[in-house]
Amino acid sequence: MDQFTLNLIFIGLSFLLYFGIAIWARAGSTSEFYAANRGVHPVMNGMATAADWMSAASFISMAGLIAFTGYDNSTYLMGWTGGYVLLALLLAPYLRKFGKFTVPEFIGDRFYSKTARIIGVVCLLVVSITYVIGQMEGVGITFARYLEVSKTSGLLIGAVVVFFYAVLGGMKGITYTQVAQYVVLITAYTIPAVFISLQLTGHVLPQTGLFGTLNEGGGKFLATLDQVVTDLGFKSYTGHHTSTLNMILFTLALMIGTAGLPHVIIRFFTVPKVSDARKSAGWALVFIALLYTVAPAVGSMSRFNLTTTMWPGAAGGDVYSQSAVSLDSIQNDQDKEWMRNWQVTGLLNWEDKNGDGLIQYYNDEAEPSEPLATVIADQNLQGNELTTVNRDIMVLANPEIANLPGWVIAIVAAGGLAAALSTAAGLLLAISGAVSHDLIKGAINPDISEKNELLAARISMGASILVATLLGLNPPGFAAQTVALAFGLAASSIFPVLMMGIFSTRVNKQGAIAGMLAGIVSTLLYIFTYKGWFFIADTNMLPDTPDAWLMGISPASFGTIGALINFGVAYLVSNATEEPPEHVRDLVESIRVPRGASGPTADH
């Protein structure tokens, strides 16, 4: 059976499963659509949360970024997992105890202001739409390769799929679909990682293979990888090369951004009890760790496989002992078929610049070492000839590079789509809830019937899919980089107002409104300055380079500064204006009362 047919079978079966669950669990009320009727078991919710969380950025893009940067991009692992600790300890149980459906609803009630609620909606929309762009990017890339269509066509196909099961099922359908998607994605991520770890190091566990020794008398895997990439003019894989300040700020932005993501927070509104919210966060960390502890190995091994494909001598420890890959082998050899497959998508490409029939891969932007300089002179190299390697393809291409069985490649395709679609659905639900429940019912038409509110939620979800698809055609970076911008926006706008809403009785509506506006506007302006407005090409005011960044702070790291601005402005304005009403201060105190205490907000 050919690979294309296998891909269709695995992808088709997974989609049938998702559609079947969506029809079976179709939401019939607003309670089911927004919060699955608060009846999800904490273990199931933890699994669904993990699937909601492990998006295209985690499954497809994170290991690709680690593959090409190494240690410096471990910030993604530290920030994203650390955020769940903050969420479990500081937000999830208290927000569940408050007993509302959405994040803006909490903001509006806690700060006794319809204006605060509307600004919360705006912040949620900005964060969620930016985030979902990254998911649509992952969907487009996966469909492009495995259905052998263009990236744009893949994006449109994915939009139709997510529209069907997300609009139909609401939170109830999405929850059970995400449980199935977690099983698919973790299986798809782990199986090829085990195969490749065995192939390279003999270790069954990729986590230990990362620190193991290469087979057939090779040296330590990471030491060899370091030597290979530095021989070709790239920075050492295990070294730290970027600004430490920027690294710290970026990690913090990912952490507090994680804790402020609306589509993750609403998952904790679906469990029966307050204590279940904390349990859900714990289980989510367990399920997430199954992938995140494998990701460094996947990234490292995919970089090794790519490099040794381009320089076969590197596999034996001498990168120059065998010449680079030939055009003839790319066009005719079975083990190079993966290059032909990915070239069709436009995400991998090469150019024989010196006409020698070989494709040379090296860093032509750095001063070459003596051996590399000799090769450049002897072969009259005109620059790096592997001209395009989209980092988002590395996880998907890794099984093909390693010549794994066709069924492994097919299940990776299904897993990549499961990761992207599960998160896209959760984000779209957060968006539709904000529009229908907070904007339409909360501000425009409080007397809207439940039937019409449910219809408005589905229409707004459909409109959100359309907007995300259009913006996904021209994303501001790789999937994980686009998602990182969303984390910065969540860190600067939503996380501070939730923290102050729970732990401070002094912050009032004026402070909350001023803080949210100051945080998100400052962060958006910083992103606009270096990335362009609404991700439109060539509209940035300054070049997006470390030398141009303010104090070396990248746009993705500025969320931490935006959060500090939010906290500072909120406290200054609150202290300059009147205290919140007494009933609001009592409400804040009651949210933090231990489970079982009396009062209307105690564990419901």
Range of weakest confidence among 135-139, 229-233, 333-337 = 135-139
Q: How confident is the model at residue 89 (pLDDT cuts 50, 70, 90)?
A: confident
Question: What average pLDDT score do residues 187-192 get?
Answer: 91
Three-state DSSP class for residue 1 = coil
Query: Does the pLDDT of residue 221 top 90, yes or no?
Result: yes
| pLDDT higher than 50, residue 604 | no
Percent of the chain with pLDDT over 70: 91
| Dist. CA 579–CA 28, nearest whole Å | 42
pLDDT, one tens digit per residue, over 553-569 is: 999 899 999 999 999 99
Q: Helix, strand or coil for residue 359?
A: strand
Question: Residue 603 above 50 pLDDT?
Answer: no
Which of 544, 441, 429 lies closest to 485, judged by CA?
Answer: 544
Comparing CA positions, the residue from 199, 403, 180 lying closest to residue 301 is: 199
Q: Mind listing the pLDDT tens digit for each residue in 449-504?
A: 888 888 888 888 888 888 878 877 776 555 556 777 888 999 999 999 999 999 99
Q: Which domains does the chain have, with CATH numbers?
A: 3-287+404-474 (1.20.1730.10), 302-399 (no CATH)
Hey, which residues does 358 pair with through a beta bridge?
Answer: 326
Confidence of residue 601 (pLDDT cuts 50, 70, 90): very low
Residue 45 in contact with residue 283, Cβ under 8 Å?
yes
Coil vs helix vs strand at 348: strand
> Distance (Å, rounded) from C-alpha 444 to C-alpha 147?
44
Strand ranges (DSSP E) for 377-498? 388-389
Q: Which residue has the higher pLDDT, 125 or 571?
A: 571
* Whether the predicted pLDDT of 256 surpasses 90: yes
SS (H, E, C) 26-40: CCCCHHHHHHHHHCC
